[in-house]
Amino acid sequence: MASSRPRDLQLNENGRLRHFLTIEGLSRDLLIRILDTAESFAALPGRPVKKVPLLRGRIITNLFFENSTRTRTTFELAAKLLSADVINFNIGTSATSKGETLLDTLRNIEAMHSDMFVVRHAQSGAAHFIAEHASPRVSVINAGDGRHAHPTQAMLDMFTIRKHKGDFTPLRVAIVGDVLHSRVARSQILALNTLGVSEVRVVGPRTLLPSDARSMGVHVFHDLAEGIRDVDVVIMLRLQNERMDGALLPSEHEYFRLYGLTDERLENAKPDAIVMHPGPMNRGIELDSAVADGPRSVILQQVSYGIAVRMAVLSMAMQSQADLEVEA
Ligand code: NCD
């Protein structure tokens, strides 16, 4: 679907984030700028007056061609806290299911004068395609495309890690489970390596790890205890059953026996290791409830931090549009 490389599209001439489609090609400095900007927004939701007027008068359209709860609602909340007006299109129930093309949907929403699209689509490259075809005055934020990328999820995960661990450089991070089908894992691996962590590991059965995993700059493990030994961060992934063609697993019971995270297995990680999951999680399959609700779990904090990180990305992209307005 995509024809030019995403990094060519993502930054404007001043090096500002115009679209946010992938972590690929972005510098460490830019990722740190996103985290620092998010930090400045993180206190807002807890205040009596929660809104700032940065995006007042702007229209943001959530274009969701695939289901979502936390990503869509935290994008909506982020936009509202920045004082933007928000339109939600759930396209599963809308015109494309009646045969309209993606480009027609785009043109119609542009005709409604939207300044920014937040796009989720089951096909890899969809957000990039929209960014290539959208008017120059529109920014596109990828909220998850197929197996390809989910950059705001990766950045909220980085924000959560930084909150708990401070410096990225000494960290060992294990990503456990269905890496093969996970856009989250792909974006996390790029972000962790760009931020300079000491080691990224992927842990899972052969059938659920990409065959080219090593070329992604990770160490590969098939044994859970070994894979999480002495790590600072354990990131659990959901089994993406909807993206599996055919049986890649013997059974969910067997998967839990081999790869399910329990308190006992977590003993292999560092004593102060944190446990993360992008959600939605399958209790008793990917991890035990005792771990999900336990003292090392930061899973709900990830959701809260997602608001500040999405505010950062929306406001930075809108700032790049302000550059255009200055030129005009
Ligand atoms: C992830 C997604 O949709 O890619 N979830 C999310 O954004 N919170 C991960 C998943 O669905 O497993």
Per-residue pLDDT tens over the stretch 236-269: 999 988 888 777 777 889 999 999 999 999 999 9
The parent domain of residue 65 ranges over: 28-149+304-327
Q: What is the mean pLDDT of residues 110-129?
A: 94
4 in a structural domain: no
As a whole number, the mean pLDDT across the chain is 92
Ligand 1, residue 66: give the atom nearest the CA: 3
Question: Mind giving me the DSSP string for 234-262?
Answer: EEE----GGG--S--SS-HHHHHHHH-B-
Q: What is the pLDDT of residue 2?
A: 45
Comparing 175 with 50, the larger pLDDT belongs to: 175
State the Cα–Cα distance between residues 206 and 12, nearest whole angstrom: 40
Residues assigned a catalytic role: 70-71, 98, 120, 150
C-alpha 10 – ligand 1 centre gap (Å): 22
Ligand 1 pocket at CB < 6 A: 70-71, 144, 150, 153, 183-184, 238, 240, 278-279
- pLDDT at residue 76 tops 90: yes
In a shared domain, residues 257 and 121: no
Q: What is the pLDDT of residue 46?
A: 78
User: Domain count of the chain?
Assistant: 2
Q: What is the pLDDT of residue 3?
A: 46
In a shared domain, residues 114 and 185: no
CATH of the domain at 308: 3.40.50.1370
Of 82, 69, 165, the closest CA to residue 116 belongs to 82
State the Cα–Cα distance between residues 202 and 184, nearest whole angstrom: 13
Q: What is the pLDDT of residue 5?
A: 53
In a shared domain, residues 251 and 188: yes
Comparing 137 with 21, the larger pLDDT belongs to: 21
23 in a structural domain: no
Structure confidence at residue 98 as a pLDDT band (50, 70, 90): low
Q: What's the pTM value of the predicted model, to 2 decimals?
A: 0.94
Phi, psi of 16 (to 5 degrees): -90, 155
